[in-house]
Amino acid sequence: MPFSAYDLRYHVEESYPALCIYIQHRAQRYLGQLAFDAFEMDQVVGHVIEYLTRIQLLGGGERAPKTALDELSNAQFYTFLNRMVQNKAIDRLRRRRLPMSTTGELEEQGNPDEDNDPLNSVVEPFWGDVPFANPEAAALEAVSQEQLRALLKRCIETLGAAPRQLQAVLQELEDLGAGDLVKEVRADIPIDLDITTVAHLSQHKDHAHKKLRLCLQKNSTNLAVMLAIRLTEYGAESGGTDEWSVPLQTLTQKDLSLREVQTGLQHLTHAGLLNWQGEAVVHLTLAQRKLLTRFYEEE
């Protein structure tokens, strides 16, 4: 019985058996010499099942947010699963240092499926050309890209409430030679920081790092920037009153959920840039509009 991503999400009882059979079938093909090793088979099958559960597709129902996988056609979804199985099988073969099947071997087995050819994975780097292929490359990208660097700066600035922690981080950045970033932060924070007199530097640094990690991974930080831009872009002036209004639905566009919009608006309200209390339409004064423009321009 064929199954789809929709079936796995809404009808797990009916579709799980077919999913297991499909993954087992593909795993057997890709595991080559390990195909009859029950442990290795379990590793591959379990990996894909665990993945589908963790991304909240398997059994996710209506409650779990839809993902890109929900929007794949059936053919694409099977291709996706097939590739997941193939990659995991190659991973297991590599761990056991066993040779992987070549195209010739697969042809001898009379296999007509083009996608069964793991040779590409043998001659190419395992993941091919993937952006952010390792965390270090992602870190470099993050500090080089303007928008991401702006978020880092914004989070460093939130340390202004704890001047010693801010001071400890700025000193670290100075030592790294990131003087430009330090200058940008100093220009925005009107605190007289004397970097020569920080006692217990390492303790302040640890606290500061924890706060920075939280800020950087907090969804509201980046959502606030997006919402500030949209509020100024989509705001419609209400007949000569110097007041602008934007319905929440307008702010969602295609890529934000209502909840994300609300999170971003709450963040802006908390920062004193809005007076939004959960209304369906956001109202802005001229002064607030200017503040919002400054907010994202600073970004």
Partner 1 sequence: MSDEFAGMANPQEPNAPLAQWFYQLLSGAQPVASSEQIPVGEDVSLLGTDYHAAFYPAIPNFARALLKQEPELMTHYAPLLFHLIGCPTCHRAYLETYDALRVALADEARPATTALRLSSSASLATTSPKLLVFLCQLLIGQARSVLRQAHREHADEDAWARSLLQQAMQLSRYIMQGALRQRALRDLVEVASLYQISSAGTPGEPGALSYSALVGAGSGARGRTLRRAEMASRPQEQASIDLRAGTLDGSVTQEGEMLILRLVDLDESLRGKFLLISIPLGTLLEPVRWLGGNPYAIRSAGLVGPDGTLITPLGRTDLRLSNPEERNLLETLFKKLDVRSLEA
User: Residues 100 to 129: which contact partner 1 by CB under 8 A?
Assistant: 113, 115, 127-128
Provide the minimum distance between the beta carbon of 80 and partner 1 in the complex, in angstroms, as a whole number: 4
**Torsion sign (Cα): 4, 8, 10, 14:** positive
- 18/16 Cα distance (integer angstroms): 5
Give, to the nearest 10 degrees, the angle between helix 146-157 and helix 135-144. Answer: 80
Provide the minimum distance between the beta carbon of 255 and partner 1 in the complex, in angstroms, as a whole number: 6
Residue among 105 and 174 whose Cβ is closer to partner 1 = 174
CA 278 to chain centre: 27
Residue among 152 and 248 whose Cβ is closer to partner 1 = 152
User: Residues 119 to 178: which contact partner 1 by CB under 8 A?
Assistant: 127-128, 130-145, 147-148, 151-152, 172-173, 176-178
Place of tokens 């640890």: 206
For 291, the token pair is 């503040």
Residue among 141 and 237 whose Cβ is closer to partner 1 = 141
Q: How many residues bind partner 1 (CB under 8 A)?
A: 94
Q: Is 247 an interacting residue with respect to partner 1 (CB under 8 A)?
A: no
- 234/28 Cα distance (integer angstroms): 54
Provide the minimum distance between the beta carbon of 278 and partner 1 in the complex, in angstroms, as a whole number: 14
From the list 53, 158, 245, 269, which residue makes contact with partner 1 (rule: CB under 8 A)?
Answer: 53
- 148/155 Cα distance (integer angstroms): 11
- Other C-beta atoms closer than 10 Å to the C-beta of 294 total 12
Give, to the nearest 10 degrees, the angle between helix 74-95 and helix 12-30. Answer: 50
Residue among 196 and 217 whose Cβ is closer to partner 1 = 217
Residue among 207 and 283 whose Cβ is closer to partner 1 = 207
Residue type, position 113, single letter:
D
Provide the minimum distance between the beta carbon of 210 and partner 1 in the complex, in angstroms, as a whole number: 7
Provide the minimum distance between the beta carbon of 79 and partner 1 in the complex, in angstroms, as a whole number: 4
Q: Are 222 and 151 in contact (CB under 8 A)?
A: yes
SS3 80: helix
H/E stretch holding 283: strand 281-285
Residue among 285 and 293 whose Cβ is closer to partner 1 = 293
User: Residues 1 to 40: which contact partner 1 by CB under 8 A?
Assistant: 1-3, 12-13, 16-18, 20-22, 25-26, 39
User: Segment contacting partner 1 (CB under 8 A): 42-50, 187-195, 238-246, 283-291?
Assistant: 42-50
Q: Is 83 an interacting residue with respect to partner 1 (CB under 8 A)?
A: yes
User: Segment contacting partner 1 (CB under 8 A): 194-202, 205-213, 267-275, 286-294?
Assistant: 205-213
**Torsion sign (Cα): 25, 31, 36, 37:** negative
Sequence-distant (6+) residues with CB within 8 A of 186 are 170, 193
Residue among 175 and 194 whose Cβ is closer to partner 1 = 175
Q: Is 76 an interacting residue with respect to partner 1 (CB under 8 A)?
A: yes
User: Segment contacting partner 1 (CB under 8 A): 101-109, 183-191, 221-229, 284-292?
Assistant: 221-229
Q: Is 258 an interacting residue with respect to partner 1 (CB under 8 A)?
A: no
- Other C-beta atoms closer than 10 Å to the C-beta of 215 total 18
Looking at the DSSP assignment, which residues form a beta bridge with residue 236? Answer: 245
Residue among 214 and 281 whose Cβ is closer to partner 1 = 214
